[in-house]
Amino acid sequence: EVQLVESGGGLIQPGGSLRLSCAASGFTVSSQYMSWVRQAPGKGLEWISVIYSDGSTHYAESVKGRFTISRYNSKNTVSLQMNNLRAEDTAVYYCARSLTFGDTAPGYWGQGSLVTVSS
């Protein structure tokens, strides 16, 4: 069974940094495309980053240069390093896995981790 468990969220001041982790089970993260998708309070879904099985990464313009997605094969985890956080980054952050190999689109979702950027 595919399971994704996010951790690392919390309250952080504007300009600060935070690292989210996504622990995967039921598959190996290196064999699938792994994404982060966020949802601001009361708003819709926004894709922000993906790491492909070959290790290449892509980002939404809204986070490019500030966020970094990484993969740790030995721990079967994916992380999202978030720097220079802004109030508009406040959201629930979901880790997601592609449905099948080669398919970028999220098919499996974690429970989410809330990040609040506020002074």
Partner 1 sequence: DIVMTQTPLSLSATPGQPASISCKSSQSLLHSNGNTYLYWHLQKPGQPPQLLIYEVSNRFSGVPDRFSGSGSGTDFTLTISRVEAEDVGVYYCMQGLQLPITFGQGTRLEIK
Of the two residues 30 and 114, which places its CB atom closer to partner 1 in the complex?
Answer: 114
Nearest distance, CB of residue 26 and partner 1, angstroms: 13
Query: Alpha-carbon distance 96 to 92, whole Å?
Result: 13
Q: How far is CA 1 from CA 53, 56, 82, in A?
A: 20, 26, 29
Of the two residues 14 and 102, which places its CB atom closer to partner 1 in the complex?
Answer: 102
Nearest distance, CB of residue 58 and partner 1, angstroms: 5
Of the two residues 35 and 77, which places its CB atom closer to partner 1 in the complex?
Answer: 35
Contact 10, 20 (CB under 8 A): no
Q: Which residues bind partner 1 (CB under 8 A)?
A: 35, 37, 44-47, 50, 58, 60-61, 94, 99, 103-112
Nearest distance, CB of residue 109 and partner 1, angstroms: 4
SS (H, E, C) 29-62: HHHCCEEEEEECCCCCEEEEEEECCCCCEEECCC
